[in-house]
Amino acid sequence: MSQPVQESLIVLGGTGNLGSQVLPILADAGYHLVVFSRRQVSGDPYDDPRISLQVGSLDDEACIDSLVTTALEHAQTLRGALFLNGG
């Protein structure tokens, strides 16, 4: 039997207090999460292999290119994007 394809979500703003609570819930629900952050973070939940962290600024053209590239790489399994903005 073949393994089901893991669906992906792109997450902006997932490194604050809200993200640290929501990301494990989404990962446990079976999603691969691609989290974009302006700052480097580590530890739980960001060390989870189901969570990919990319650091950059939306003011940086290279970061925007990275967002587009990531969306295209996950296009077959991409189910949406979330913006988590909470303290």
The span from the CA of 49 to the CA of 27, in Å, is 9
| Strand, helix or coil for residue 32 | strand
3 pLDDT higher than 70: no
Q: Which amino acid is at 37?
A: S
Q: Which runs of consecutive H residues, i.e. helices, occur in the chain?
A: 17-28, 61-73
CA 68 to chain CA mean position, Å: 13
Residue 39, pLDDT score: 86
Q: Which residues pair with residue 10 across a beta bridge?
A: 34, 81
**3.10.180.10, 3.30.9.10, 3.40.50.1470, 3.40.50.720: CATH of 8-83:** 3.40.50.720
Domain boundaries, the chain: 8-83
For the stretch 30-71, pLDDT in tens is: 999 989 888 888 888 889 999 988 888 888 898 888 878 888
User: Would you call the peptide bond into 45 cis, given omega within 30 degrees of 0 as the criterion?
Assistant: yes
The span from the CA of 24 to the CA of 22, in Å, is 6
